[in-house]
Chain A
Amino acid sequence: MVPISLTKIFEQYPDRRYIMFGGKGGLGKTTFSAATAYYLAKKGKRVLVFSVDPQASLSDIFKRDIFGKGPTEIMPNLYAQEIDADRRVKEYQQEIRQKILDMYGMDKIPEEIESYIQAAAAEPAMEESAIFDEVVDIVVKGGYDYYIYDLVPLGHALYYLSMASVYDEWIDKITNLRQQMREYDQVAAVMRRDKEIDEDAILNELLYIKERINKSSGILTDKEKTAFFFVITAEQMIITDTIKAAELFAKFDVPLSGYVVNRVLPETLKQQEIPEYLKNRLVMQEKYLKIIDETFKDDILAYVPEMDRDVTGLEMIEKLATSMFGDM
C-alpha cells in the first residue's frame, strides 16, 4: 500500500479551498467530508462543511441537529451547515409574490399567476436549484478558509454539474433574445422620436442570474481553488462506475485531485482464525485492490480501513481522520 499522501495534497496546494468528495451513495462521502473538516480545523483553519443533499446526514454524523440552522459551530474552527431547501423555496416564493404586489400595486396575486408560482415550486428541480443558489450565497459571503461540499451521490452530482452548463447556455440564448428585443425598442423609439426608453429590468435580472450561475460553475471547475476527490471501495461495480463517472466529470472540466479507497479490511485479519465468509471477502478485496492500483495508480491518496463501529460523533471522526491524514 502507498503511504498516506492526502495530507501532501493539502500541503502542496494551500489555494485549493473548495473541497469535494464524490462517489456513489453510501461509500462514505459525508464521513470523509466531516473527517477532512476535522483535520483542517485541528490545523487551525476555519472550515465550513455543508451539505448540498436534500437528504443530508451531517446532523447524524456530528450528532447535532443542525438542519436549517445556518452555520453551526461543532468545535473550534469547525462549522457545519445543512441547507433547508424547502424553507428556502417557500421564502423565495413569498419574495416573488411581494415583488409582484409592489410592482403593480395589487392587493392580491392574480389566480393564474399564483397557480404558476405554486406549480413551479412543485418541480423536482426546484429543490436542487434552491440549494444551488444558497451555495452561491454561502461562497460569496466568505469568512472561511475552507469550504467542504458534502456532495450528493454520483448521478445527482453530475446533474448538479451539468445544470450549471445547461443554465448557462440557456441564459445566454435568452439574454441574446432580450438584447435583440431591445434593439427593436430603440428603432421604434428613434422613429417615433420618443425620449429615452426605460431600462430593461428583465435584461438586468437575466444578467444577475447568469452571474450567479457562473459563480458556482466557476468554482466547480476552478483548477487552482478546487479539489475534487472520488471515494471508492474494492468492489467491481464501484470501480466500473467510478471510471465512467471520472470520464464524465472530466468532460465538465472538474479538477480531479485523486481517489480515496474506503472500507479496506485490515490485512492482519489473515493471520487470525477467521470464518470462511471473511476469508472470501479478503480474497475478493485483494483482487479488486490490485485492479484499483493498476487503474488509478498514483492518484490513490489514501486507504481507509473499515471501522469497527459507525462513524458518528467527534471521537470516531477523529479516529477516521487519523487514518486518512496520519497523526495530527
Chain B
Amino acid sequence: MGDEEKQKAGFFQAIKEFIYGVAAHDSARFALKSRASMEHLFILITMGDMLGVPILPPYYSLRLLPYVVPQISTWKRRMLREKDLTDALA
C-alpha cells in the first residue's frame, strides 16, 4: 500500500468512526447497558441463593454457576449497594 492509499484508508476509517460516534455510539452503549442489567437480573434469578433469595432449584443453578463466576462480585455489589441520588445520574 502506498503512502497515499494509507492516508486515504486512514481518512475513511476516521469518517467511519466519526459517524459511528455521532449516530450509533449512544444506541450501542444503551444496548450494552440494558444487556448488563439483564445479565444481573439473570444472575439474580439463577443464583439468588447467594443473597438469600432462592429462586431456581439449586441443582440446576449449579450447572450455570461456572459461566457467571466473573460477574458474581460486580453483581453482588450492584444488588447489595444502597440506592442514593447519584444512581439517577449513572
Quote the shortest CB–CB distance from B43 to chain A (angstroms): 10
Q: Given A120-B62, A130-B59, A184-B32, A177–B38 Cβ distance below 8 Å?
A: yes
> Does A170 touch B at the CB level, under 8 Å?
yes
Quote the shortest CB–CB distance from A200 to chain B (angstroms): 9
> Of A185, A187, A202, which is within 8 A of B64 by CB?
A202
Asked if residues A96 and B65 are in contact (CB atoms below 8 Å), the reply is: yes
Stretch in contact with the other chain, from A41-49, A99-107, A229-237:
A99-107
> Does A180 touch B at the CB level, under 8 Å?
yes
Q: Given A123-B54, A125-B57, A184–B66 Cβ distance below 8 Å?
A: no
> Does A307 touch B at the CB level, under 8 Å?
no
Q: Given A130-B59, A181-B38, A191-B24, A205–B64 Cβ distance below 8 Å?
A: yes
Which A residues are CB-close (under 8 A) to B73? Answer: 112
Q: Given A125-B57, A192-B28, A181–B35 Cβ distance below 8 Å?
A: yes
Which B residues are CB-close (under 8 A) to A123? Answer: 49, 54, 57-58
Asked if residues A184 and B65 are in contact (CB atoms below 8 Å), the reply is: no
Asked if residues B59 and A125 are in contact (CB atoms below 8 Å), the reply is: yes
Which A residues are CB-close (under 8 A) to B32? Answer: 184, 188
Asked if residues A100 and B50 are in contact (CB atoms below 8 Å), the reply is: no
Q: Given A93-B62, A202-B67, A167–B31 Cβ distance below 8 Å?
A: no
Contacting residues of chain B (14-59) with chain A, CB-CB under 8 angstroms: 20, 24, 27-28, 31-32, 34-35, 38-39, 41-42, 45-47, 49-50, 54-59
CA separation between A100 and B67, bound complex, in Å?
Answer: 8
Quote the shortest CB–CB distance from A89 to chain B (angstroms): 8
> Of B24, B38, B66, which is within 8 A of A96 by CB?
B66
Which A residues are CB-close (under 8 A) to B28? Answer: 187-188, 191-192
Asked if residues A167 and B57 are in contact (CB atoms below 8 Å), the reply is: yes
Q: Given A113-B72, A187-B31, A120–B45 Cβ distance below 8 Å?
A: no
CA separation between A326 and B60, bound complex, in Å?
Answer: 45
Which A residues are CB-close (under 8 A) to B20? Answer: 191-193
Q: Which residue of B lies closest to A100 (CB)?
A: B66
Interface residues on chain A, number (Cβ under 8 Å): 45
Which A residues are CB-close (under 8 A) to B88? Answer: none
> Does B70 touch A at the CB level, under 8 Å?
yes
> Does A129 touch B at the CB level, under 8 Å?
yes
CA separation between A112 and B70, bound complex, in Å?
Answer: 12
Asked if residues B31 and A184 are in contact (CB atoms below 8 Å), the reply is: yes
Asked if residues A177 and B42 are in contact (CB atoms below 8 Å), the reply is: yes
Q: Which residue of B lies closest to A122 (CB)?
A: B58
CA separation between A239 and B57, bound complex, in Å?
Answer: 33
> Does B63 touch A at the CB level, under 8 Å?
yes
CA separation between A187 and B58, bound complex, in Å?
Answer: 32
Quote the shortest CB–CB distance from B34 to chain A (angstroms): 5
> Of A100, A126, A133, A177, which is within 8 A of B41 by CB?
A177
**Known contacts A96-B63, A112-B73, A117-B62; can you find 16 more A-B pairs with CB under 8 A?**
A103-B66, A112-B72, A112-B76, A113-B69, A116-B50, A120-B49, A125-B58, A129-B59, A129-B60, A132-B59, A170-B57, A177-B38, A177-B45, A181-B38, A185-B35, A188-B32
A-B contact pairs, 19 of them (CB 8 A): A104-B69, A110-B69, A112-B73, A112-B76, A116-B65, A121-B58, A125-B58, A129-B60, A167-B57, A170-B56, A184-B32, A184-B34, A188-B35, A192-B20, A192-B28, A201-B67, A202-B42, A202-B64, A209-B63
